[in-house]
Amino acid sequence: MQNLIDIKRFEQLKGTGELPSPRGVALAIIRMTQVEDVSMGELARVIRGDPAFVGRLIKAANGLVGHERRAVVSVHEALMMLGLPAVRTMALGFSLLSNYRKGACTAFDYTRYWSSSLLMALAMQALARPVRAMAADEAFSVGLLARIGELALATLYPVEFGRILTAVRHSAGVRQADLEREAFALDHCALSAAMLADWGLPEIVIRAVRHFEQPATARLRENSREHALVQSLVLSRAVAQICLAEESEHAALMPAMLRLAARLGVSREHFVAACDRVASDWVEWGRLLQFETHAAPRFEMLAGLGEQGETAAPAAGAEFAQAADASAPAAPDAGAQPGSLRVLVLAADVAERQRLRQALEQDRLTVFEADSGSQGIEAVVDLQPHMLLVDWQLQDIAGIDVIRSLRETRLGRTIYMLLLIPSEDDFLLEKVLDAGADDFVARPFRPVLLASRLRAARRMVGMQLELEREREEIRRFAAELAISNRRLEEVAMTDALTGFPNRRYALDRLQQEWIAVTRNLRPLSAMIIDLDGLKQLNDAHGHDVGDMVLRQCADALRGVLRAQDVICRTGGDEFLVICPDTDLGAACHCAERLRAAAEALRIETGGPQLRITVSIGVAARDGRTGSLDALIKCADRGSYLSKQRGRNRVSALQREADGD
């Protein structure tokens, strides 16, 4: 009944047209990915229309790069790595981040909201591999959008929602969700779930987002995939809270995080390393997204403090501590141990399943059961067990066929499988091994023999997990190395004084644009900008003042350029502007704006206030500029002509030759 009320209320809110929604290129991406026959090339062309999204997409893809792969550097590679569903959701999330950085709700901290959401995204991505609740690329987007309902309420009801946030901060024991339901007929969790459903996210994600802030209300089966997803969201939000909390609160928040990580089967070592990586990536993402971050806590040190004993959780962490404890099972199975290996038993006979369970639990394994092949395959997808013990004949299918089917899947290839066979017949054993089973247990099984087989299985699974941890370390090192390489590439392509791309980048980019316009017969223009009298300023006031002039003039030029234009510093007092899809008339109009911006600039030096002007030459690709060199030379001669005619002007030789 409550869900029906929530849906009806959401439809009313959606009808206002004021809910946060994607715009521009992101909206085009979302629409294109809903078309079945869309090509990667078409999608890549649309994505390249938003350079900011290009950078974010490639960075997200590099978060998934394995040790055997080089860093992703192109849009096409990122699309192949992430897949269309993840790209669609990322476009949605980053569009909302770009367009809703600020708002009218004064009590809602927009910067903290997005910073927390980004931390949740990175934490969900880091937890995806060890927890295996969902793919890492999807997990990033789910973390980023899990609390979108709060942003929506701040957008729809800035005054009323602000009063609720203020009341929650100043009144102990008041629950935000209760006040929201009273004021708006639904809370932000329900609104988040409804918005994600409307955007086409999977049902399991919608349910997890609906309940992760109050996991006890979900009534989920322990160790199910949905249960793991809810707990991952709880833990991801805790990572975000501890990164944003005051230093005095860190030690009190850590113990609950370690408990929940253990319940998810994530070792302390892996979890702490993942948290440190999340904190490092958060700072990198902050630079890319242009919002302020700060030095995150060192989780290795906090983990040591957390093991010494738990103190009372501060107010900022009380909500998480309650959610973490609420997500814990009330009465865990006797065999269940934090981080223990999961075993799925598929057998038709109830009594035999019980005997197998007893033997397995004595070996401290966490046991799950199913009596048919169809249920077993569903349970494998849901539980993602480490080991599988299958009876020779199930209710609906032969056990050997279950093993054969699972071995054809990516998930099934990682599971250690034992088959319970009628006897140690050589013909049966050959069939067992051919089907892909790792080992067998003959009937009637003896507990001692089963224990021996399990020891071998545990060694093999342990080696697989250790190998995965080593691979994760290599992936982490490769990711760090890729970041370092990209930084070196950026340094090699960037002018340190102005932050503009340098001459090397300019020539490479101009070559790319030339090839593109030659193939597609689109217009292309270029400008050469010379600062007038910079040498005289340097001689009169010194090079420090000259650097101030360059920096402030560069900022003024950047401020009036169009989004598609690329400006580079190619020499001491020279800039090159690349204008894709721009004819000569439009380029001259743009150049005049640049000239006027420089002329209007008042340069602050801490001493005298200086003025500067620029001389600009403009050229466009046509029959007279049949090569890239000819285009640049034509623009350069235009700049020289502007200086000859008294400076502070725009000249285009092609326009003058045509008599314009």
Of the listed ranges 123-137, 310-324, 498-512, 592-606, the least confidently predicted one is 310-324
Better-predicted residue by pLDDT, 464 or 232: 232
Give the pLDDT confidence score for residue 649 in this predicted structure.
94
Together in a domain, 181 and 294 = yes
pLDDT band at residue 633 under the 50/70/90 scheme: very high
Residue 454, pLDDT above cutoff 60:
yes
Out of 60-74, 243-257, 391-405, 477-491, the most confident range is 391-405
Average pLDDT over residues 456-472: 79
Is 575 domain-assigned? yes
Output 228 or 471, whichever has higher pLDDT: 228
562: pLDDT strictly greater than 60: yes
Considering the domain boundaries, does residue 651 fall inside one? yes
Is the residue at 210 inside a domain?
Answer: yes
Mean pLDDT of 261-265: 82
Q: Look up the CATH number of the domain holding residue 598.
A: 3.30.70.270
For the segment 519-533, the average pLDDT, to the nearest whole number, is 90
Could you tell me the CATH number of the domain that includes residue 263?
Answer: 1.10.3210.10
Range scoring the smallest mean pLDDT among 287-296, 506-515, 610-619: 287-296
Beta bridge partners of 421: 442
Strand 416-421 versus strand 524-532 pairing type: unpaired
Strand partners, 617: 528, 651
Question: Does residue 222 form part of some domain?
Answer: yes
| 376 and 315 belong to one structural domain | no
% of the chain residues with pLDDT over 70: 84
Q: Is the pLDDT of residue 117 over 50?
A: yes
Q: With 90 as the cut, is the pLDDT of residue 125 above it?
A: no
How do 439-442 and 524-532 pair as beta strands? unpaired
The upper half-sphere exposure of residue 552, i.e. CA atoms within 13 Å in the direction of its Cβ, equals: 20
pLDDT at 304: 56
* Predicted local distance difference test score (pLDDT) of residue 6: 56
Claim to verify: residue 378 and residue 527 sit in the same structural domain: no
* End residue of a domain, out of 69, 99, 129: 99
Q: Which of 63, 82, 99 is the last residue of a domain?
A: 99
- Residue-wise pLDDT for 360-380, tens only, equals 888 788 888 888 888 888 788
Confidence of residue 480 (pLDDT cuts 50, 70, 90): low
Counting residues of the chain whose pLDDT is more than 90, the rounded percentage is 17
- Domain presence at residue 335: no
- 81 near 50, Cβ under 8 Å? no
Position 491, amino acid? V
Query: What is the model's pTM?
Result: 0.50
Decide if pLDDT at 398 tops 70.
yes
* Domain shared by 206 and 306, yes or no: yes
Out of 156-160, 423-427, 457-461, 595-599, the most confident range is: 595-599
Q: What local confidence, expressed as pLDDT, does residue 482 receive?
A: 60
Domain coverage including residue 66 = 21-99
Side-by-side strand order, sheet with 416-421: 366-370, 342-346, 387-391, 416-421, 439-442
Alpha helices for 245-349 (secondary structure H):
250-263, 268-289, 299-307, 315-326
Give the span between the Cα atoms of 632 and 620, in whole angstroms: 9
Point out the domain boundary residue: 264, 297, 326: 326
| CATH code (residue 440) | 3.40.50.2300
Same domain, 134 and 167: yes
> Quick one: pLDDT band at residue 337, thresholds 50, 70, 90?
very low
Query: Do both 520 and 649 map to the same domain?
Result: yes
State the average pLDDT for the chain.
80
Residues 118 and 232 in one domain: yes
Question: Same domain, yes or no, for 75 and 128?
Answer: no
Residue 218 banded pLDDT, cuts 50, 70, 90: low
* Cα→Cα distances 62→86, 140, 219, 287, 486, Å: 14, 12, 36, 16, 11
Say whether 350 sits in a helix, a strand or coil.
helix
Per-residue pLDDT at 68: 42
In this structure, the answer to whether residues 450 and 401 fall within a common structural domain is yes
Whether 536 maps to a domain, the answer reads: yes
Q: What is the pLDDT of residue 568?
A: 92
Given a contact cutoff of 8 angstroms between Cβ atoms, the answer to whether 484 and 477 are in contact is no
Helix (H/G/I), strand (E/B), else coil: 608 = coil
Do 206 and 94 touch, CB atoms closer than 8 A?
A: no
**Alpha carbon distances (Å) from 573 to 484, 583, 610:** 30, 26, 16
Residue 160 token pair = 């009323």
Give the separation between CA 253 and CA 298, rounded to whole angstroms.
13
Does 480 fall in a domain?
no
The tens digit of pLDDT for each residue in 54-75 reads 777 777 777 765 444 456 667 7
Question: Would you say how long the chain is, in residues?
Answer: 660
Q: 146 and 30, same structural domain?
A: no
The C-alpha torsion from 94 through 98 and 99 to 101, rounded to 10°, is 120
Predicted confidence band of residue 429 (pLDDT cuts 50, 70, 90):
confident
Which two three-digit tokens encode residue 267? Answer: 């070792």
Q: What would the mean pLDDT of 600-620 be, rounded to a whole number? A: 89
Q: Which residues pair with 527 in a beta bridge?
A: 577, 618
Fill in the DSSP letter of residue 634: H
Residue 482: inside a domain, yes or no?
A: no
Encode pLDDT of 17-33 as tens digits.
Answer: 778 887 777 777 777 76
Q: What is the pLDDT of residues 280-304, one digit of tens each?
A: 888 888 777 777 777 667 776 665 5
Residue with tokens 């003039």: 553
Both 25 and 145 in one domain: the answer is no
> How many domains is the chain built from?
4
**Same domain, yes or no, for 450 and 352?**
yes
